[in-house]
């Protein structure tokens, strides 16, 4: 079995852009009618560039924090955490311990995706970047990470 370093995907921005263009019809054909307009934005040149940057950021995070994986789940605000323990998601403590990444992330920072330009394509690029680096994806439930839900 090859080392994790050898498994990294070395996609370029142009390769990523071509792959996104090829996948576009799959997203649109499988979307609900009310979601199709949002997919036009998701596949704009700017958002595909954001997705590629998030893809790279996920790999960078794995290079420096191999043992933490990626933390998946909805972000919770403080009121939701106080109101009930039954809402699954990522709270402030998880963010503090694992930190966030976005399209502007410096090398090696964060396992939680936090992009102001989020789209489903950005989300999938984040997961794909981690998968290409063989990252474990951990689901945050009730504000705490739990067992792996996906093994890359």
pLDDT of residue 45: 94
Instruction: Give dist(CA 94, CA 12) in Å, integer.
Output: 31
pLDDT of residue 130: 87
Average pLDDT, the chain: 79
DSSP string of 129-141, one letter each residue: HHHHTT-EEEEEE
Instruction: Give dist(CA 90, CA 149) in Å, integer.
Output: 15
Identify which of 129, 51, 139 has the alpha carbon closest to the alpha carbon of residue 94: 139
How much is the average pLDDT of 72-95?
A: 68
The pTM assigned to this predicted structure is 0.77
pLDDT of residue 149: 44
């Amino acid at each position: 079995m090859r080392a994790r370093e050898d498994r990294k995907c070395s996609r370029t921005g142009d390769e990523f852009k071509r792959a996104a263009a090829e996948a576009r019809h799959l997203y649109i054909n499988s979307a609900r009618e009310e979601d199709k307009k949002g997919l036009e934005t998701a596949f704009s040149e700017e958002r595909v560039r954001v997705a590629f940057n998030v893809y790279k950021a996920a790999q960078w995070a794995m290079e420096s924090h191999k043992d933490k994986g990626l933390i998946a789940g909805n972000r919770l605000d403080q009121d939701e955490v106080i109101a009930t323990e039954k809402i699954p998601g990522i709270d402030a403590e998880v963010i503090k311990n694992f930190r966030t990444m976005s399209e502007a992330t410096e090398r090696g920072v964060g396992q939680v995706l936090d992009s102001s330009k989020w789209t489903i394509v950005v989300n999938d690029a984040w997961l794909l970047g981690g998968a290409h680096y063989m990252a474990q994806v951990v689901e945050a439930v009730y504000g705490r990470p739990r067992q792996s839900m996906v093994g890359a």
